[in-house]
Structure 1
Amino acid sequence: MRLDRVINENIDQDTQFFDEVLPESTAELWINLEKVKIINSTGILRWMRWCKTLPPGIRVYLLNVPNSLAVQSHLIDRFFPPFMKIQSVRGYFFCPDDSEEVLVQMERNKDYFYAEDMISKKSEVRLPKVPCPHCSKIMEPDFLETRVFAFLKVDQ
């Protein structure tokens, strides 16, 4: 059975999403994180505890992950367990010439690849070329690629 859920708030001590008990028959859980901007220390703890309560054999797919959440895998080992895959992650790109900033959604199997998706069995990141809306020059990522995409290293 597939379940689709949305987290409509920042992840903290009050996030009600973690209180839901999933049916044992849940095989896939798709979570849209479009409204999430930040996760605080209590939210991190709740996230880690919640991951341990998931039914055995479940696959979790995360959509619209903010880079503030994605970087947690750089800081905390197994923040995203192997059964959890990020389908899209959001990050800011900026233009140093005119200080313009744009939020870009990066997609699995287009902008980044898990090792399991590659013939070489090595993960890969191919950041998009984002043109500045004002000067048309290619913008630079306003994040550290190695930190935001650290979740790809879980497979290797």
Structure 2
Amino acid sequence: MPSHAEISMAPFYGFRLPDIDGHPVDLKTYKGKVLLIVNTASMCGNTPQYAGLQEMYERYQERGFEVLAFPANDFGQQEPGTNQEIKGFCYTKYSISFPLFSKISVVGKEKHPLYQYLTERSPFPGRVTWNFQKYLVDRSGNVIGKYDPGMNPLSPTILSDVEKALAKS
């Protein structure tokens, strides 16, 4: 994990995080793809957004689009389960097939360095306000959009921005 001093210099692709099964994943694996980064929770009013995220993933995956989901228990204790419980819930209830990462913190003293980057160093600074806040990352690793937690992933705004990002080589 990069130290706090390294975060200001670390490009988006410099982060490494464990997937839901604990295997390390370098974000550079996703270089050249358009990404939607989402902090998720299983017991939130926004949890049904998993269905929309899966639909987006299926619609755009072949064009180089990925959804990266990061479970977090930072808001209302709405993600209290273990990684395996979260995985079981997401795969059973929503049949997700996009990458699911191990539970992290997206706010406070324990905030993961990826979210330090997104909230402090990206062109869209500011605290994550709730579960299912979304960040759009272009094929070069630039954060090009930030969307409120309550915004449906299939909203015209998000879909239009994803389409524009996918159209760029």
TM-score, shorter chain, exceeding 0.5: no
TM category (shorter chain) comes to under 0.3
- Work out which structure has the larger RCO, using CA pairs closer than 8 Å and 6 or more positions apart in sequence: 2
Relative to total residues, which structure has the larger helix share, 1 or 2?
2
Relative to total residues, which structure has the larger strand share, 1 or 2?
1
With structure 2 as the length reference, what TM-score do the two structures score?
0.26
